[in-house]
Chain A
Amino acid sequence: MSPLLLSLYIIGATFIILFTGIPIAFGLALVSTAFFIGIEGIGRLPLVAEQLFNGLQDFGIVTIPMFLLMGIAIAASPAGKDLYSALDRWLNRVPGGLVLSNLGACAIFAALCGSSPATCAAIGKMGIPEMRKRGYSDELSTGTIAAGGTLGILIPPSITMIIYGISTGTSIGRLFIAGIFPGLMLTGLFMLWAFVFVRFSQGRGREKVAVETYTWKQRIEILPKILPFIFLVIGVLYVLYGGFATPNEASAVGALFAMILVAIVYKMYKPKYFWDIFSETMIESVMLLLIIAASSLFAFVLSNLYVTQSIAKELVAIASNKWLLMVYINVFLIVAGFFLPPVASILMTAPILYPIIVAAGFDPIWFGVVVTINMEIGLIHPPVGLNIFVIQGIAPDIKLSKILWGCLPYALLMIVQIIILCAFPQIATWLPSYVMK
């Protein structure tokens, strides 16, 4: 059988098996094992357990539970609420100020935690009811939080980037730094759109927004509550980029300080509270790490059966120039996002795409940022957009269609951001090469 035909069989089988609703980790491992043994013989069976184990023998994986712990500890506290109301008190006079506050709060929270749904939930729980109360439309309120939440995986720390780094062997530290400017830029694009939209629709009488007034005293008095967390963000970034520590070390220090801060600022120090945080961290980490283990088996089998190489060769042959190739890859990733959550998407496609990217002369760090923005789009488009479901959980009375309409402009802005990054790759590549010479 030709490797290309075999790859079609494998892709088909993977989708059929995953569509049964089997946990992705088990599904991937089952498909890999079946094809491996079927083609190479039963003698290769011992490799299954060995490869699953080897998939976890990368010191980079330690950042996953650490950054999860940091995010979960902060998300369990009222820090999200304070962050958001502080920004609101400072931005209340700007048109669409509350929307901008929410986006800003999402961006800052994203820097404290590496997960999109967590960012979405932490800010959205307060933000959505408040925006609706003050007269913003359901579409704008929900779309803003869903999209703002996706910043969680672009602005460092980012679990998605860690996983990209592990599966392609690129530096996690560099990936993190590369995400900073595009993350800020995307936040800026989101804010610009919200500002223009509210301005425009206010004129036509659509968004009748109530503006709260705050005294300077109110503005100042909330700062002590959020400053420690801002310092935490700056501290982790400084430790990471000042060359003092590796991402692994920075993640551990970040997690430790996040827990100490939450305990001091919010007086949350009961053992039960800590156990719950660790328990939640365990669940999320185990889920992610098991998929990492399974996809390392998957990638190993694909490569052993020469599937990865033949798909790569074929893709390069189809695309006549490298930018056309980039368009194909992006479309492919967006389509993959229709079916797979970001982690699975990256782990399954990165081993195939990485050699193609490098061969075509693209910067793998830059590509990591592009992939991440792509995954962000996947988080807010149906049918598996995780953030959409988080929003539905927060505001069950808002129709799904309204949430989707609210997300659409933001998804388009993300595509714009990808195009900007293609035109000016330096936005992503300059800072890492400057900081880490």
Chain B
Amino acid sequence: MIKFIRFAHSLSRFSGAISTILIITAVLVTTEMVFVRKILNYSTTWHTEYIIFSLAAATFIGSPYVLMKKKHVSVDIVTHYLSARAKKILSFLAAFLSIIFLVVFFYTSLELFLHAWNKNLRTPTIWNFPLWKVYIFMPISALLLIIQSIADIFSTICDYKEPESNH
């Protein structure tokens, strides 16, 4: 079990790093866009789309890491007042419910990705960007989220605590 948890955590950490890099690129492209538009007075073509897509991709791919860090906001008003045992049971239930949704998300996003891939769908803009390149982040994210949720269940069972680190 511990092995699986560690495996899941390293996957999540990797996904977090990718998400951070995507956010950094979004920041750089945005500032570059401002420079090109305002200082050089040129119009930009691909910037806006790149920024939106990279942020969407970062959101999906960064999710497993945020889940691992327990930074997704939740309503803990009920869990706060429960006994340790009841808390555990409720956290299993929460993880189980998450997994139900994530399986649906995995399936539907995979379909979306395959559709875009097979039909070679592109954005109707000058950039003409192939949509599968951004859609692919969704099924990958769903899969990693499922793995991370299972790891969370295991962590609760064997009281595993993540060793402190920044990454």
Binding site for B on A (CB under 8 A): 17-27, 29-30, 33, 45-50, 52-53, 56-59, 61-62, 65-66, 69, 244-245, 248-249, 251-253, 255-256, 275-276, 278-279, 281-287, 289-291, 293, 338-341, 343-344, 383-384
Query: Is A22 a contact of B55 with CB atoms below 8 Å?
Result: no
B78 touches A21 (CB 8 A): yes
By beta carbon, the residue of chain A nearest B112 is A49
Q: In the complex, are the beta carbons of A283 and B101 less than 8 A apart? A: no
Chain A interface main SS type: helix
Tell me the bound Cα distance from A424 to B50 in angstroms. Answer: 43
Contacts of A383 in B (CB 8 A): 77, 80
A166 to B75, CA, bound (A): 23
| Residue in A24, A56, A249, A276 whose beta carbon sits within 8 Å of that of B75 in the complex | A24
10 contacts between A and B (CB under 8 A): A19-B75, A50-B108, A52-B138, A53-B135, A57-B52, A62-B30, A66-B27, A252-B30, A256-B31, A340-B75
Residue pair A245, B38 in contact (C-beta under 8 Å): yes
Residue of A nearest to B87 (CB): A21
Are B108 and A30 in touch, CB under 8 angstroms? no
Minimum distance in angstroms from B53 CB to a CB of chain A = 9
Identify which of B31, B71, B74, B97 contacts A30 (C-beta below 8 A): B97
- CB contacts under 8 Å to A, within B40-95, are 48, 51-52, 55-56, 58-60, 62-63, 65-67, 69, 71-80, 90-91, 93-94
Q: What is the predominant secondary structure among interface residues of chain B facing chain A?
A: helix
Q: B154 at interface (Cβ–Cβ under 8 A)? A: no
Q: A26-B101, A252-B34 are in contact. List 20 more A-B contacts (CB 8 A).
A: A18-B74, A20-B78, A21-B74, A21-B78, A48-B105, A49-B108, A52-B105, A52-B109, A53-B56, A59-B48, A69-B27, A251-B30, A252-B30, A278-B23, A279-B20, A286-B59, A289-B56, A290-B59, A339-B75, A340-B75
Residues of A within 8 A of B100 (CB): 30
Are A278 and B72 within 8 A (Cβ)? no
Q: Which A-B residue pairs are the 3 nearest by beta carbons?
A: A23-B72, A49-B109, A286-B62
B98 interface neighbour in A23, A283, A341, Cβ under 8 Å: A23
Contact check, B72 vs A290: say whether CB atoms are below 8 A apart.
Answer: yes
Q: How far is the CB of A375 from chain B (nearest CB, A)?
A: 14
B104 interface residue per 8 A CB criterion: yes
Select one of B34, B37, B73 contacting A287, CB under 8 A. Answer: B73
Contacts of A66 in B (CB 8 A): 27, 30
Which chain B residue has the least Cβ–Cβ distance from A68? B23
- Residues on B with C-beta less than 8 A from A344 are 73
B111 contacts A24, CB within 8 Å? Answer: no
On whether the beta carbons of B27 and A255 are closer than 8 Å, the reply is yes
Given the complex, which residues of B lie within 8 Å of A278, measured CB to CB?
Answer: 20, 23-24, 27
Q: Which residues of B contact A33 (CB under 8 A)?
A: 101, 104
From A30, which residue of chain B is reached at the shortest CB distance?
Answer: B101
Among A17, A27, A57, A283, point to the contact of B66 (Cβ < 8 A): A283
Contacts of A341 in B (CB 8 A): 73
Contact call B94/A65, Cβ cutoff below 8 A: no
Q: Which residue of B lies closest to A386 (CB)?
A: B73
> Given the interface contacts A27-B97, A45-B104, does A53 sit within 8 Å of B77 by beta carbon?
no
Which residue of the partner chain, among A30, A53, A282, contacts B62 with CB atoms under 8 Å? Answer: A282
Question: Which of A20, A47, A283 is in CB contact (< 8 Å) with B97?
Answer: A20
CA–CA, A21 to B91, complex, Å? 7
CB of B5 within 8 Å of the partner chain: no
Bound Cα distance A350, B167 (Å): 36
With CB as the reference atom, state the residue of chain A lying closest to B107: A45
Please indicate the chain A residues that have their CB under 8 angstroms from the CB of B76 in the complex.
21, 384
Q: Kindly identify which residue among A49, A244, A248, A339 contacts B138, using a CB–CB cutoff of 8 Å.
A: A49
Distance in Å: Cβ of A230 to nearest Cβ of chain B: 22
CA distance A244 to B37 in the complex (A): 11
- Docked-complex contact A287 and B72, CB < 8 angstroms: yes
Tell me if A21 and B94 are in contact (CB < 8 A).
Answer: yes
User: Which of A20, A23, A245 is close to B34, meaning CB atoms less than 8 Å apart?
Assistant: A245
Chain A proximity of B127: nearest CB distance (Å): 14
Residue of A nearest to B95 (CB): A22
Query: In the complex, are the beta carbons of A59 and B52 less than 8 A apart?
Result: yes
CB pair A20–B90 under 8 Å, yes or no, is yes
* Inter-subunit contact B73/A343 (CB<8 Å): yes
Task: Write the chain A residue with the least CB distance to B102.
Answer: A26
B5 to chain A, nearest CB (A): 19
Measured CA separation A21–B19 after assembly (Å): 25
Of B59, B74, B97, B138, most buried by chain A (CB within 10 Å of CB) is: B59
Given contacts A253-B31, A343-B73, contact A275 B93 (CB under 8 A): no
B104/A21 in contact, CB under 8 A: no
